Amino acid sequence: PEPPRHSDPTDPGPGAPGGLFAWLRGRCLGRGAAVDPARDTFGAMTGLYGAIQPADSVSLSTRTHGAVFNLEYSPDGSVLTVACEQTEVLLFDPISSKHIKTLSEAHEDCVNNIRFLDNRLFATCSDDTTIALWDLRKLNTKVCTLHGHTSWVKNIEYDTNTRLLVTSGFDGNVIIWDTNRCTEDGCPHKKFFHTRFLMRMRLTPDCSKMLISTSSGYLLILHDLDLNKSLEVGSYPILRARRTTSSSDITSSGSSGPRAVGSPCHQNDSGLLSEKHLSRSSQREGGSPRNSLEVLTPEVPGERDRGNCITSLQLHPKGWATLLRCSSNTDDQEWTCVYEFQEGAPVRPVSPRCSLRLTHCIEEANVGRGYIKELCFSPDGRMISSPHGFGIRLLGFDAHCSELVDCLPREASPLREIRSLYSHNDVVLTTKFSPTHCQIASGCLSGRVSLYQPKF
């Protein structure tokens, strides 16, 4: 639509040549120019998502693969991959809903996560402690198998700038793999970070930060990330000015013991951040700011004395916020929470302030205990798809599915339910938006995968 006319003839307004984009570039909410000029296109896409009906879902099912733990589209949206409990990886054409290929023995144990490196190369990780690289042009054999973890591997990330693969597992390790020098025997790798009760690890879209969630309720942030830097225990500067917990809190966090959650997941007894680690880190605070560590205990609704486990971790596609799925240690409450990234100096210098602020939250259905529910942002960041019982819920920051920067509340507000979609007969564990089409996929505990899309 044409921008509104201004009554002042001397004011060219946003409709003048260059005026609209200059106005958008200058529009900021504490984070610089962040507003995409194509928001009308995103608004149309949001309207399509809001019109999806459960009857329009297309069911994709096989008989042997077990529960669906993860869904991943290729960057061009042409392939949908499915990580399954019974060692299989399924590949589908999401447009025609046709089955392409089953990798029946992709791993020797549960397949937990899939990550595309580009439109043809993807990686899978498993409870068999390995990571496998695959090429869509030759699926009969793996490109290579990566060995380095000593326990279940749960998460894969990829830095497109350095072409470094980053994985994390229940051995508490984050490992960096150099895919530039990959051979049939594997890739050179190094241990980058270690922490106790590690659950999920994510990189921000610009790869400037690494976020790590733990089952003990902590969220770790590595700022000014440098994956090429060789790091040892104790070489992470601690951000005292923004840390929300004390060293004694961290080193004693294991006193409550590990909590068994996951898909299904178990924990190890390795140290979270040892006293030696913290003391050496504190001494190095005046050093390089690269890979500086911040330890947070995110604010979660509900009864705070119960403690919380951060089971799922996602990042806003524009890097504005992080999305967490949290459950109480007694497993009687689950929450989906959105936290805005806070940058710059603390508001009050005498009071430490963390890098995250709770902006939106909603209570989830407390079903499928012991299993992680993987949720996600839409490609434009306006909507959230969240597993909810035997279906999924589409959630927005407000009733109009506005962008986060347009509706930041002064205090935590509830996420708005835009639509609920139910087409499964078992607990939904994972959901994913297509990066290129108006389509959503969901997978459940009994192994059924459903696609949702508008019908014209």
35 located within any domain: no
Round the average pLDDT of the chain to a whole number and report it.
77
pLDDT at 176: 95
243 located within any domain: no
- Which range of residues forms the domain containing residue 97? 41-235+291-450
CATH (domain of 82): 2.130.10.10
226 located within any domain: yes
pLDDT at 73: 97
Helix/strand/coil for 251: helix
Instruction: Give yes or no for residue 321 having a pLDDT over 90.
Output: yes
Q: Quick: pLDDT tens for 295-308.
A: 888 887 765 545 57
pLDDT at 205: 92
Q: Quick: pLDDT tens for 32-61.
A: 444 455 555 666 666 777 677 654 456 665
249 located within any domain: no
**Pair of tokens at residue 326:** 């949290």
Query: Residue 234 pairs with which residues in a beta bridge?
Result: none
State the pairing for strand pair 68-73/80-84: antiparallel
303 located within any domain: yes
Identify which has the larger pLDDT, 272 or 103: 103
**What's the rounded mean pLDDT across residues 385-412?**
90
100 located within any domain: yes
Instruction: Give yes or no for residue 7 having a pLDDT over 80.
Output: no
pLDDT at 182: 79
15 located within any domain: no
Contacts of 353 (CB under 8 A, 6+ apart): 242, 342, 346, 347
268 located within any domain: no
DSSP 8-state code for residue 55: G
The number of folded domains in the chain is 1
pLDDT at 297: 86
At residue 21's C-alpha, the angle toward residues 15 and 25, to 5°, is: 135
Q: Quick: pLDDT tens for 198-257.
A: 999 999 999 989 999 998 888 999 988 988 875 554 555 655 434 333 333 333 333 333
* Residue 115 to residue 138: CA distance in whole angstroms: 17
Instruction: Give yes or no for residue 377 having a pLDDT over 50.
Output: yes
* Residue 418 to residue 130: CA distance in whole angstroms: 39
**What's the rounded mean pLDDT across residues 267-285?**
39
pLDDT at 433: 94
pLDDT at 52: 73
